[in-house]
Amino acid sequence: MTQDLSIPETTTVRGESALGAFLRAMWAVVWKDLAAEMRSRELLSAMLVFALLVILIFNFALELDAKTRSTVTSGVLWVTFTFAGTLGLNRSMAIEKDRGCLDGLLLAPVDRAAIYFGKVLGNLIFMLVVEMIVLPVYSLLYNTNLFHPGLLLVILLGSVGYVVVGTLLASMAVQTRTRDVLLPILLFPVVIPLVIAAVKGSAGFLQALEIPEIMPWLNLLIVYDVIFTAVAFMVFDYVVEE
């Protein structure tokens, strides 16, 4: 892993473009997270089991019979993703903090934004993996077909926005005294527009509404993603600065 982290330095020596160095540093962080996860599998398994438990609870809480299902499926899915996502985000940043890994990353002579986007991409991959497992399980358990390309698009856009804000706020939350409880409190009020848009967008595709009716929600998701990616890019330096 140390080998990977040193790559950006050598590339600048070779005179590669700044963008190339940035992408390499970012990829190094992603690769580190994936490698660590491949060995321990603690993050994915926790998120996955948690997500399935949430769905199980919803089954009893809402009596998910065929009639209810058609209207609440998108809501159930997004609550599941949101909760499982918080679990993953918290864990992913706590690992960095506890084992002093974050300090190591910050010492690396790379752009801090590269570290941030590396973490975002890593978290996004974990979240998408969980979602791609939850979807077929939900389809199987409740006998509904969820494989609609439009729904997958909404899930992708929603997850990007969620992880972009979540990674930023998680890196703040882990540095506080009340770290484990703080992330959802910080994150949920800020991601509400995203969740509303994602739920309505998903429901639109699941109920086979006309595209013009779904478009406003897709636009909102895209706007949210763009705005918060830009904001997080600008302020991340101040969050990790010592």
Q: What share of the chain is helix, strand, coil (3-state, %, to 5)?
A: 85, 0, 15
- Count CB neighbours of 18 within 10 A: 10
Is 24 a binding residue for other proteins by CB under 8 A? The answer is no
* 239 near other proteins, judged by CB under 8 A: yes
Sole binder of other proteins in the list 186, 209, 229, 233 (CB under 8 A): 186
The DSSP result for 47-100, as a single string, is HHHHHHHHHHHHHHHHT--HHHHHHHHHHHHHHHHHHHHHHHHHHHHHHHHHTT
Binding span for other proteins by CB under 8 A among 43-51, 52-60, 116-124, 190-198: 190-198
**212 makes contact with other proteins (CB under 8 A):** no
CA distance 214 to 219: 9
Nearest approach, Cβ of residue 121 and other proteins (Å): 20
The reply to whether 78 sits near other proteins by the rule CB under 8 A is no
Contacts with other proteins, residue ranges (CB under 8 A): 165, 168-169, 172-173, 175-179, 182, 185-186, 188-193, 196-197, 200, 216-217, 220, 223-224, 227-228, 231-232, 235, 238-239, 241
